[in-house]
Amino acid sequence: MLVGVPKEIKNHEYRVGLTPAAVKEFVTHGHKVLVETNAGTAIGFTDEMYVEAGATIAATAEQIFAEAEMIVKVKEPQPQECKQLRRGQTLYTYLHLAPDPTQTELLIESGATCIAYETVTDARGGLPLLAPMSEVAGRMSVQAGAHYLEKAHGGSGTLLGGVPGVAPGKVLVIGGGVVGTQAAKMALGLGADVTILDRSLPRLRQLDDIFNGQVKTVYSTVDAIDHYSANADLVVGAVLIPGAAAPKLLNEQHIANMKKGSVIVDVAIDQGGCFATSKATTHQDPVYIVDGVVHYCVANMPGGVARTSTMALNNATLPFGLALANKGPKQAMMEDIHLLNGLNVHEGKVTYKAVVEALGDQLGIQYTPALDALA
Instruction: Say whether 226 is catalytic.
Output: no
Fill in the DSSP letter of residue 296.
E
Binding partner of residue 149 among ligand NAI, Mg ion, ligand CC(=O)C(=O)O, none, CB cut-off 5 to 8 Å per kind: none
Catalytic-labelled residue, pool 96, 254, 295, 346: 96
Smallest gap from residue 90 Cβ to ligand NAI (A): 22
Instruction: Say whether 29 is catalytic.
Output: no
Catalytic-labelled residue, pool 100, 193, 266, 270: 270
Residues 6+ apart with CB under 8 A from 189: none
229 is in an annotated binding site: no
Binding partner of residue 355 among Mg ion, ligand CC(=O)C(=O)O, ligand NAI, none, CB cut-off 5 to 8 Å per kind: none
Burial class (CB in 10 A: 0-12, 13-18, 19+), 141: buried
Total binding residues toward Mg ion, as defined by CB under 5 A: 3
Smallest gap from residue 69 Cβ to ligand CC(=O)C(=O)O (A): 24
Smallest gap from residue 97 Cβ to ligand CC(=O)C(=O)O (A): 12
Q: Does 133 bind ligand NAI (CB under 6 A)?
A: yes
Burial class (CB in 10 A: 0-12, 13-18, 19+), 212: exposed
Q: Does 243 bind ligand NAI (CB under 6 A)?
A: no
3-state class of 281 per DSSP? strand
Cα–Cα dist 93/190, whole Å = 34
> Going residue by residue from 262 to 301, which x/- string records binding to Mg ion, judged by CB under 5 A?
--------x----------------------------xx-
Q: Does 296 bind ligand CC(=O)C(=O)O (CB under 6 A)?
A: no
- DSSP track, 304-318: GGHHHHHHHHHHHHH
Strands annotated E in the chain: 2-5, 32-36, 56-58, 70-72, 90-93, 113-116, 170-174, 193-198, 216-219, 234-237, 263-266, 287-290, 293-296, 343-346, 349-350
Q: Does 270 bind ligand CC(=O)C(=O)O (CB under 6 A)?
A: yes
Q: Are residues 148 and 209 in contact, defined by beta-carbon separation less than 8 angstroms?
A: no
354 is in an annotated binding site: no
Q: Does 227 bind ligand NAI (CB under 6 A)?
A: no
Cα–Cα dist 27/162, whole Å = 52
Burial class (CB in 10 A: 0-12, 13-18, 19+), 335: exposed
**Interface positions with ligand NAI (CB under 6 A):** 118, 127, 130, 133-134, 137, 174-180, 197-200, 203, 220, 238-241, 246-247, 249, 267-271, 299-302
- Catalytic positions are 96, 270
Instruction: Give the residue numbers of the binding site for substrate.
Output: 15, 75
Instruction: Give the residue numbers of the binding site for NAD(+).
Output: 134, 198, 203, 220, 239-240, 267-270, 298-301
